[in-house]
Each structure stands twice: as C-alpha cells, then as structure tokens.
Amino acid sequence: MTADEFKDLLAATYNKLCGLTATKGREYANSDDQLANFKRLSQALGINPEAVCFVYLTKHLDSIQSHLRCPEKPLSEPIEGRIDDAILYLVLLKGLINDSSGSRNTQTVPIGDGDTV
C-alpha cells in the first residue's frame, strides 16, 4: 500500500466513523451527551463508564480475532465494519477518559487476570 493509498484509507475510515457517529451514536446516546449510554449503563451496572465501553470494544476485538484465526468462516457483516466499530469504540473510550479527567474519583473494575479498568 502506497502512502497515498494509506491516506485515502484514513480519509475513508474517518468518513465512515463520522457516519456511524451521526446515526448509531445519536440513537444509542439518546442525548446531547455522545457518551450518555455508557454513563447510564455504568450507573445500572455499578461500574465506571470506561469499563462499559471496554466491554463493547472487546466484543468487536474478539470478533476480529476470530476472523484472523479462521478467515474462511463466513461473518454476518464484513470484517471492515467490525474494525471500524472497534476504532470508534477506542475513540469513545478516549472521550470517556477525557470527560472524566478530574471530575470524579476513578473506580477500578477487574477485567480479568488481575488487570483493572
């Protein structure tokens, strides 16, 4: 892939993410706060919003990992869509971290093998 082809891929990915945010993001958030659905679920589940987002991200990463292990296995949606979703969840996670910086005490939540979020 040439540098120009990569720039085109970045631009196309950015446009795809903007489209996802404009549709799914608005539907899920159901609020002016783009991160509202993570905050609502965090309250309901008693975990921090970042951990909620991490669970959603991990779902997509698991699907990507499964595809890499068995690329011939058919998927219900193209792998590129799952990759776009994972990228968007990373951006949402970054937004949650930026949103919560200094505004509350950080609660750690176990995510397995002694790690915490």
Q: What is the per-residue pLDDT across 13-69, written as a single tens digit (0 to 9) for each?
A: 999 999 988 888 777 777 788 899 999 999 999 999 999 999 999 999 999 999 999
H helix or E strand, kind and range, residue 9: helix 3-20
The pTM (predicted TM-score) of the whole model is 0.79
- Cβ(20)–Cβ(85) below 8 Å: yes
Closest CA to 91 of 32, 27, 25: 25
| Percent residues over pLDDT 90 in the chain | 65
Number of compact structural domains in the chain: 1
Q: Which helix (H) or strand (E) holds 91?
A: helix 79-100
Distance CA 29, CA 47 (A): 18
Residue 105 pLDDT exceeds 50 = no
Range of the domain at 103: 3-116
